[in-house]
Structure 1
Amino acid sequence: MKNIKTGILTMLTAAMLFSSCTKNFSEINTDPNRSSVATPEALLAPVLYDVVTRNQTRALRLTNELMQDHVTIINSDEIHRYLIRPSESDYMWNNWYLQLTNIKDMYKSASVIQQKSFMGISLILDAWVTSLITDTFGDVPYSEANQGRNNVYLPKFDLQKDIYTSILNKLDTANTLLAANQAFAPDQLTLDPLFGGNIAKWRKFGNSLLLRLLLRVSAKPEMNAPARIKNMVETNAATYPIFTSNDESAILKFTTVAPYVSAFNQYRDYDFNGDNGLTEFFIGNLKVWGDPRIAKWAAQSGGQYLGIPSGYASGNIPDRKSYYLATLKDEPLLGNIINYPELQFILAEAASRGFITGNAKTYYDNGVTNAITMWNVAVPANYLTSPEISFTTATTLDQKIEKIQLQKYYTMFFTDFQQWNEYRRTGHPILPKGPGLLNNGLMPARFKYPVSVQSLNRANYDAAVAAMGGPDDLNTKMWWNK
């Protein structure tokens, strides 16, 4: 990592760079302290691949356990009981900050040659990765982060409010830069594994991400988020193009051939699905709805789809029943960053809260439909009119948010920490609480800072803990969640 002293630097692997998308990631290793010499297109694919695949592993290890997609059948692994050990923090912190250095180098390199598209793309990636960091930990190094080559080894921690102000503005700037529609050179097209050099899709990705993050801070009046959402979606919609179909979703679609293979490609089946089972909550909703995605995600147990309880008491391990299909290990859609159905649910919530005048039911129905068809299965007849699915304006706001968030939960399947982020923001979907929960039955509000940060950057760490209202534990809420 670039923003902590030498002790942290030794913990990090070198950043991988490409000269061609056909080369394996392991062929070119470059010291990230010197990666500023790389062209922006050489940095794009390695950054995307590294962040997405590492996020996949954290979804399997942490998010899906916390949010009851599955539950471990190893009694000593207690994430499902809301016990998250400090050692879990290091992996995300180190690797996200490492890639932020490469992203910032991408911007610098693009700025030198005034390649506006790569400047815009790097700002989108910057905002995305920074949001992952601050949404996980709260106040974090930002303005002085990634400055190791400038001899800034002990960065201050910025307030989350200030970080969000900056990344929202970066996404606005990215929209303006990408509006110039400066095309990739022909030999650069294959170096973009996300959109193949399609500038219009990158612009829609940035604006769709902007709506996600504006909604996340919409309860904080100082951010003026509702007005900004209305401006984007209605007042100046032509200036802010957003996703209009599943095909435009930001999904790094994996293949089974290097270099773009899933993080799970080399996992044994047991490492992927042998020590966990799908939960009663996850399976139960899909069964009640008659949702065809269940056949894409879950193996049957005794000819049925059956889940097991999460949060079970210590020592009272249930027998595993349904579990993840092994085919998910190479599923292209597990490279999701943000997709079109999620955007529709964002708009449905914005309409329900009165931020925009669009029809919440229309957005919701569109989200439900496309969340299913994205998985290449058909929407069952009368699906949207079934009592469990149908959306009506003649309900309370809380009931509307529950419907929207429950559908969004499944749309965010294996998407880094987004299920957890949304639960902390809204309290939805409502999850059952098992008898074995620890932490006073409270869903963790954040992750603790890494132990290495506490020891090597102690003064700034202490100041950050105090600024957040301390202590540095799982229950101290961050700014957007207070």
Structure 2
Amino acid sequence: MNNTIKKISFAFLALSMSLQSCDKGFIELNTDPVKTTHAYPSQFMANAFLNAVTANMNRNRSFTNELMQVTVSIGEGDGKVFRYDFRPSWSSYLWDQHYKQLMNFKDMYLTASEGIGLNRSYQAVALLGQSWLFSILTDTYGDVPYSKALIGRDSLILEPQFDKQQDIYIGMFEKFEAANQLFKGGDALEASSDPIFAGDVLKWRKFSNSMYLRLLLRIAHKADVGPDAIKKIQEILQDHPTEYPIMSSNSDAAVLRWTGQGAYVSPFMGTRAQDFRATSLASFFIDHLRDWNDPRLHIPEYGTSGINRLGIAPVSGNYVGVESGYAAGNAEDYTKLSYFYSYDQNAGVNSLQTEPLTGMLMNYAEVEFIKAEAIIKGWISGSAETHYKSGVENNIKLWIPNWTLPVQDYLTNADIQWDESKTVAQKMKMLHLQKYYALFMVDMQQWFEHRRTGYPVLPKGPGLKNNGEMPSRMVYPVIVQSSNPTSYKEAIANQGADLINTKVWWQKPE
């Protein structure tokens, strides 16, 4: 027995020594000498923007377009957004998707702030990306986790507090200021990892400052912070424009263009063709374009009969929309009116399912309309008419670059020419009807601007619920109520009841 034990022990000892000998050089042998083990900031960039734009497009199509009378879902039953009736379950999607991408932008910033990835331009893009997504979140829900939102992995704070919207806006402004300075450094961006501007740092800087303007305008009416916001608008547009370059042409438009190659296939292609074309156009959206003889609908000189730039199907040769908010029980009356064509490679028509411009983050026309509003309100000098015309013209040319009709002829023929003798309210109404079309396909911005200004004035159909009141927010996701109950209760104590009619900070009257 003793001899047997000794033999076994010797065998194990020999095997152990053999394994130790074989282990020498194992790690080195199995390490790729070329492939890095470190993440670079460029590796976060495309993925974060791709997924964030996808989420925005999905919510734009099914939510914003319905609320803002671009489209009308045909059918009966509950949960029709165009009737101001949507379930709490709608709230989770945008919240979940954007907080995931905010982590990507955070990691992008960290990897660009030290070591081999050190790059000021990537830091700036990451700050811009964070402010972009946080602005959509706070304008959708109100108070949201911000200062403690992205530190759970490092600090184990898994139930972050909800910051007040006013504080979130101040934090976003600080990020825009920091980004503007970082972009000045001019550090190169990889063109292949940049799906929006192909590495053009100046265009990124213009986009960042233009979005800064968008958010400054949103709170400029608030008594406590408005004066500072107006002062900053003046600084950007009038006092120090070279220090804050902004979009100056359609070539500066921030668009993640869907090429149809690799990962850049439009998320709309994930919708079945019959489902994509099942939703009708709202009469508010289509009637104006039709009555203005708008080139995005009627372009015989730019294409063949029946083909239009927005991919809209006519009805018996005409464009006819559905009354938004129609009463329940009347759906069968609206089943064959104008709709967005679905993709068919053999049909010879345009379709938003493959349209590159649907990945819109911000465009130059919006910037022109911001300038016009600032002039109307007396914050800066200049001609509101000039920027109004430019906004209209560049919005059309974004979709139809070779449009040649003088914009004044278009405005006169459509009877929407500028009239300087009108009141401020009348000018705002005219301006924001055009801005409504400039914000087509730009995430939730039509809804946000309508809540800020009350424009455009939308007709109220007989079937509206919620007492006919445009919802002011989405409720918080149900999972937030159960996973972060303390902070959730603090948020509603500060902001108000968790209901769709509770106004967010910038919407509340003074």
Is TM more than 0.5 here? yes
CA deviation after TM superposition for structure 1 residue 386, in Å: 3.8
Aligned counterpart for 2:293 among listed residues 271, 290, 295: 290
Is 1:155 the counterpart of 2:160? The answer is yes
Aligned to 1:173: 178
CA deviation after TM superposition for structure 1 residue 285, in Å: 0.5
Matches within 5 A, 1:301-380: 301-317=315-331, 318-320=333-335, 321-326=337-342, 327-376=351-400, 378=403, 380=405
Letter in structure 2 aligned against 1:347: K
Q: Distance in 2 between matches of 1:273 and 1:399?
A: 36
Shift in CA distance, 191/387, structure 1 to aligned 2, threshold 3 Å: closer
CA deviation after TM superposition for structure 1 residue 44, in Å: 0.2
Question: Contact 1:256/1:265 (CA < 8 Å) preserved in 2?
Answer: no
Q: Distance in 1 between matches of 2:412 and 2:288?
A: 16
SS in 2 for 1:238: coil
Aligned to 2:128: 124
Mark the runs of 5 or more structure 2 residues left unpaired by the alignment.
Answer: 1-36, 298-307, 343-350
Aligned to 1:456: 483
Could you state the TM-score of these two structures normalised by the residue count of structure 2? 0.85
Query: Which deviations, in whole Å up to 9, do the C-alpha atoms of 1:77-121 show, x marking residues without a partner?
Result: 411110121100100001100100110111111111431100111
Aligned to 1:217: 219
Query: Which deviations, in whole Å up to 9, do the C-alpha atoms of 1:325-375 show, x marking residues without a partner?
Result: 221101011010000011111111111111111211111100000000111
Q: Distance in 1 between matches of 2:179 and 2:276?
A: 37
Matches within 5 A, 1:77-96: 77-96=79-98
Which stretch has the larger CA shift, 258-267 or 339-348? 258-267
Question: Contact 1:296/1:325 (CA < 8 Å) preserved in 2?
Answer: no
Aligned to 1:408: 435
Query: Which deviations, in whole Å up to 9, do the C-alpha atoms of 1:204-233 show, x marking residues without a partner?
Result: 000000000000111113321111100001
- Structure (1 or 2) with the larger CA radius of gyration: 2
Question: Contact 1:361/1:393 (CA < 8 Å) preserved in 2?
Answer: yes
Q: Distance in 2 between matches of 1:305 and 1:84?
A: 28
Letter in structure 1 aligned against 2:52: V
CA deviation after TM superposition for structure 1 residue 267, in Å: 2.3
CA deviation after TM superposition for structure 1 residue 155, in Å: 0.4
Q: Distance in 1 between matches of 2:107 and 2:387?
A: 38
Aligned to 1:24: none
Aligned to 1:134: 138
SS in 1 for 2:493: helix
Q: Distance in 2 between matches of 1:270 and 1:408?
A: 31
Which stretch has the larger CA shift, 265-274 or 324-333? 265-274
Aligned to 1:13: none
Matches within 5 A, 1:127-276: 127-149=131-153, 150-184=155-189, 188-223=190-225, 224-274=228-278, 276=279
Question: Contact 1:278/1:323 (CA < 8 Å) preserved in 2?
Answer: yes
Aligned to 2:15: none
Letter in structure 2 aligned against 1:92: L
SS in 1 for 2:215: helix
Query: Which deviations, in whole Å up to 9, do the C-alpha atoms of 1:444-478 show, x marking residues without a partner?
Result: 0000000010111111101100101x210000000
Aligned to 2:25: none
Letter in structure 1 aligned against 2:334: D
CA deviation after TM superposition for structure 1 residue 266, in Å: 3.2
Letter in structure 2 aligned against 1:472: D
Mark the runs of 5 or more structure 1 residues left unpaired by the alignment.
Answer: 1-35
Aligned to 1:21: none
Aligned counterpart for 1:300 among listed residues 307, 314, 335: 314
Question: Contact 2:183/2:205 (CA < 8 Å) preserved in 1?
Answer: yes
Question: Contact 1:369/1:379 (CA < 8 Å) preserved in 2?
Answer: no
Q: Distance in 2 between matches of 1:189 and 1:292?
A: 34
SS in 2 for 1:99: helix
Q: Distance in 2 between matches of 1:380 and 1:299?
A: 24
Question: Contact 1:254/1:333 (CA < 8 Å) preserved in 2?
Answer: yes
Q: Distance in 2 between matches of 1:142 and 1:45?
A: 23
Letter in structure 2 aligned against 1:70: T
Q: Distance in 2 between matches of 1:195 and 1:474?
A: 37
Q: Distance in 2 between matches of 1:189 and 1:444?
A: 41
Could you state the TM-score of these two structures normalised by the residue count of structure 1? 0.90
Aligned to 2:4: none
Aligned to 1:73: 74
Question: Contact 1:104/1:126 (CA < 8 Å) preserved in 2?
Answer: yes
Aligned to 1:466: 493
Which stretch has the larger CA shift, 211-220 or 314-323? 314-323
Q: Distance in 1 between matches of 2:125 and 2:464?
A: 42
Aligned to 1:18: none
Which stretch has the larger CA shift, 154-163 or 76-85? 76-85
SS in 1 for 2:72: strand
Aligned to 1:107: 109
Query: Which deviations, in whole Å up to 9, do the C-alpha atoms of 1:1-58 show, x marking residues without a partner?
Result: xxxxxxxxxxxxxxxxxxxxxxxxxxxxxxxxxxx95211000000010000111111
Q: Distance in 2 between matches of 1:79 and 1:183?
A: 44
CA deviation after TM superposition for structure 1 residue 396, in Å: 1.0
Which stretch has the larger CA shift, 391-400 or 64-73? 391-400
CA deviation after TM superposition for structure 1 residue 70, in Å: 0.7
CA deviation after TM superposition for structure 1 residue 130, in Å: 0.5
CA deviation after TM superposition for structure 1 residue 316, in Å: 1.4
SS in 2 for 1:337: strand
Query: Which deviations, in whole Å up to 9, do the C-alpha atoms of 1:363-394 show, x marking residues without a partner?
Result: 11000000001112525451123463211221
Alignment identity in percent?
A: 44
Question: Contact 2:196/2:257 (CA < 8 Å) preserved in 1?
Answer: yes
Q: Distance in 2 between matches of 1:383 and 1:206?
A: 32
Aligned to 1:14: none
Letter in structure 2 aligned against 1:47: A
Which stretch has the larger CA shift, 58-67 or 217-226? 217-226
User: What stretches of structure 1 move > 2 A for 4+ residues in a row?
Assistant: 384-388
Q: Distance in 1 between matches of 2:369 and 2:285?
A: 19
Question: Contact 2:143/2:163 (CA < 8 Å) preserved in 1?
Answer: yes
Q: Distance in 1 between matches of 2:182 and 2:140?
A: 29
Question: Contact 2:291/2:414 (CA < 8 Å) preserved in 1?
Answer: no
SS in 2 for 1:264: helix
